[in-house]
Structure 1
Amino acid sequence: MVDISIDKLISISSRAFSDIPPMLSPELKALAGRRATELLCLLQKKNGFFAFESSLRVFSSVKSSQSYSLADWNSELLWRREYGDCVEDALFFAEDVFGGQFCIRNDEIYCFDPETGEFSYLANTVDDWARSVLSEYQLLTGQPLAHDWQKMHGSIPVLSRLVPKLPFVCGGEFSVENLIALDSVKGMRARGNLAMQIKDLPDGAQITFNITDN
């Protein structure tokens, strides 16, 4: 297997979150399907990492000070249950600076919008995903805003993402002023509630959204 793009992405990333050789549980392998070997190969090369000024996080196979484990992140206990059955067939393995997820679904790689609960196709294989991220990292990871936010506020707390105070889907601006560093799980839970509210609602319907940093 030739992983040219994965190797390039790894070469510009942080140190590995864990030096423990990765393993995938049977449940995670089932979700990853034909991409399970590719995901495991990625983690064998580097078991979790940040890239693009921490705007991209690839989850490690085990919990660390800088990452939830893949098993924990994909469990029902953290945030997935907030989205109901719309996420039951996806394995989430990485995220952008806003908490937008990259996942394996139906043997392909998708982006998952936490505000709407919608999936959009990105790539066929894990190496193709890495190639897309490398070529469109500003769009796919949110690196420009991550850079600007950190110039003003310092490093993003390691288990947090930059969540919009007014959701983007509700007209919130892609600006530093509209972003708050929030624990990743809290951010996903809050937006899961939002996604379920707006699901199948007509345009102009009233919704409630509340996000805090405590």
Structure 2
Amino acid sequence: MRGILYTGGELTDLVSFARLPSYLQSFLREQNGVVAYFGGLHIRGCVQEPAWHSLTEAWQSERAFWRTYDEVQETDVPFAQDCAGNQFLLRGDAVLFLDTETGELADLEVDFKHFLFGAEKFPLDALGMEPLRAFQQRGGMLQPGQLLSLIPPVCIATASSKPTATAVPAAARLAWLADFYQQIKNLPDGQSVRLKPL
């Protein structure tokens, strides 16, 4: 992996670690999670702190993705996220992509090993890094524990072509996305909405 900004320390959450598939355990033994591609990919670790890096926080806390998003199952492992807070989940051996704006779930038709291979070979496309690249070209830099807030959300059609990206704490971004999803999930296509930025 390139552009590494952060690597997790010691494995301190052995309960969650024991529940993971062996291939993910092997990865986390080598490096207990990582923020790579200059913030384009964050693979969570089995740690208590920091909360933004904790797999348990994303998987089992009150803010766990399965508690918010209708298509996510409690057994789905939210092992990673992209620069904007979209999630990569393990369901069995399959890697799924959760669009955290709309709640749509897509099977990427790869396993964990091939997901990492695709991210390494084609990071811009595999990780949807276009917003991060535009943010960097304007002099921005994501810090560990930050995500990009994209306004307007990508799922909303607007007259302007590209959303404005700002770096915000990961917890704030994920909370905003969960709230946004809850508000729009039952709206028909084409419905007008008014946004309150993060």
TM-score (norm 1): 0.77
Q: Does 1:54 align with 2:39?
A: yes
4+ long deviations beyond 6 Å: none
5 Å matches for 1:79-90?
Answer: 80=65, 83-89=68-74, 90=76
Residues 42-191 of structure 1 mapped to structure 2, 5 A cutoff? 42-64=27-49, 67-78=52-63, 80=65, 83-89=68-74, 90-171=76-157, 175=162, 178-191=164-177
Whether the 8 Å contact between 1:48 and 1:67 is mirrored in structure 2 is no
Other-structure match for 1:6: none
Cα distance, 1:13–1:49 mapped onto 2, change above 3 Å: farther
Q: Is the 8 A contact 1:22 1:40 kept in 2?
A: no
Task: Tell me the TM-score normalised to structure 2 length.
Answer: 0.82
After superposition, the Cα gap between the structure-2 partners of 1:113 and 1:181, relative to the gap in structure 1 and judged at 3 Å, is same
Q: Deviations over 1:71-123 (max 9, x none)?
A: 11223323537625432332111111111111112431111100011111114
Shift of 1:170: 0.6
Higher relative helix content: 1
The equivalent position to 2:187 in structure 1, one of 174, 180, 201, is 201
| 2:69–2:103 Cα contact (<8 Å) kept | no
Considering Cα pairs closer than 8 Å and 6+ residues apart, tell me whether 1 or 2 has the greater RCO. 1
Match of 1:20 among 4, 10, 22: 10
For 1:87, give the aligned amino acid. Answer: V
Instruction: Give the aligned CA root-mean-square deviation in angstroms.
Output: 2.8
CA 1:26–1:148: 2 relative to 1, 3 Å: closer
Structure 2 unmatched runs, 5+:
none
Residue type at the aligned position of 2:94 = E
CA gap 1:130/1:123 in 2 versus in 1, 3 angstroms: farther
> Residues 49 and 57 of structure 1 are in contact (CA less than 8 Å); yes or no, is this contact kept in structure 2?
yes
Aligned length: 196
Q: Does the CA contact (< 8 Å) of 2:11 and 2:45 recur in 1?
A: no
- Alpha carbons 1:73, 1:92 under 8 Å: kept: yes
Q: Deviations over 1:151-170 (max 9, x none)?
A: 43442132111121111101
| Percentage of matched positions with identical amino acids | 20
Given that residues 82 and 193 in structure 1 are in contact (C-alpha distance below 8 angstroms), is that contact kept between their aligned partners in structure 2? no
Mapped to 2, the partners of 1:123 and 1:132 lie a distance apart of 12
d(CA) in 2 for partners of 1:63 and 1:202? Answer: 40
Distance 1:154 1:124, change over 3 A: closer
Given that residues 81 and 87 in structure 2 are in contact (C-alpha distance below 8 angstroms), is that contact kept between their aligned partners in structure 1?
Answer: yes
* Worse-superposed segment, 139-148 or 99-108: 139-148
Decide which moves more: 149-158 or 124-133.
Answer: 149-158
Flag the 1:28–1:103 CA change in 2: closer, same or farther, 3 A. Answer: farther
